[in-house]
Structure 1
Amino acid sequence: LAGATSLRDVIAFPKTGAGHDPLTGAPSTITVQQRREAGIDAKPERAARPDSDTEPPTTA
């Protein structure tokens, strides 16, 4: 493609290997004010703590 050795040389909005956009800092979390402006009322969920009383499922 275009004689380039890497797709990153010809892609319009290149990302790092981890999918991070160094130009905009994306992906990132948004503020409460940005959620209100966008009409999004979902809040990030907290990671559930593993329950020590339960055993992991077994695979057959």
Structure 2
Amino acid sequence: MWLAVGVVMNMLRMDAVDALARLRAHAYGLGDTLDDVASRIIDDPETAGGLAD
């Protein structure tokens, strides 16, 4: 999960607290777990761009 936080931090230019909050909100909005969202981001880092919307 922390690797995914790093990807989001880099792609969206935010600090770790905000990146983790963004991941949690995204997971909640999808009805998914944080681990599932993080796994998808690690498998395909380009999906982190969808978190900006």
Smaller-chain TM-score range? under 0.3
Larger radius of gyration: 1
Larger relative helix fraction: 2
- Of structures 1 and 2, the one with the larger relative CO (CA 8 A, separation 6+) is 2
Q: TM-score if structure 2 supplies the norm length?
A: 0.21
Q: TM-score if structure 1 supplies the norm length?
A: 0.20
